[in-house]
Amino acid sequence: MQKTAHIVRKVRVGRVVSNKMQKTVVIAVEWRQHHPLYKKAVRRITKFYAHDEGQECKIGDLVQIAETRPLSRLKRWRVTGIVARGEQVELPSAEVEAPAKETLPAPAATPPAIAPAPAEAQPEAAPVPASAEGAPSGAAATS
């Protein structure tokens, strides 16, 4: 009589954080770890890529996943069931954008740009002596 090995697969429960791929969802599983130095429980989150054949999972759903053979480079888990549906609040895009435009305050009036002062009011540069106009800076003092 042959013995068949019973494979125990790991099972996790987590929340769907992304379903943008075809037949793949990203599940965030939260777990706690005791910090060795500070003696406090620290919350950790691990993300798993899981296969969702029927594409039934929505963002926010609480799902159960089980370990399986490698399905792709990142997928090693399958969605085995939806434990609880997440709350989905969806508003049409027209209703979302219209009130936002009405509630914005009117833009403040910009102050007028400061005009440059007329040429007469600007102080003139010091006159340059005639002997130093074409000469280098050190040569003017020696002659």
Q: Distance (Å, rounded) from C-alpha 71 to C-alpha 8?
A: 18
Which fold is adopted by the domain 11-84?
Answer: OB fold (Dihydrolipoamide Acetyltransferase, E2P) (2.40.50)
pTM value? 0.58
Element spanning 98, H or E:
helix 93-103
Res. 126 pLDDT band, cuts 50 70 90? low
Q: How many Å apart are CA 137 and CA 42, to the nearest integer? A: 72
Is residue 140 classed as helix, strand or coil in its secondary structure? helix
The whole-angstrom distance between residue 52's C-alpha and the CA centroid of its chain comes to 25
Q: Where are the domains of the chain?
A: 11-84
How would residue 5 be classed by pLDDT, with cut points 50, 70 and 90?
A: confident
- pLDDT score of 26: 97
Q: What is the pLDDT of residues 38-49, one digit of tens each?
A: 999 999 999 999
Lowest mean pLDDT among 1-5, 7-11, 67-71: 1-5
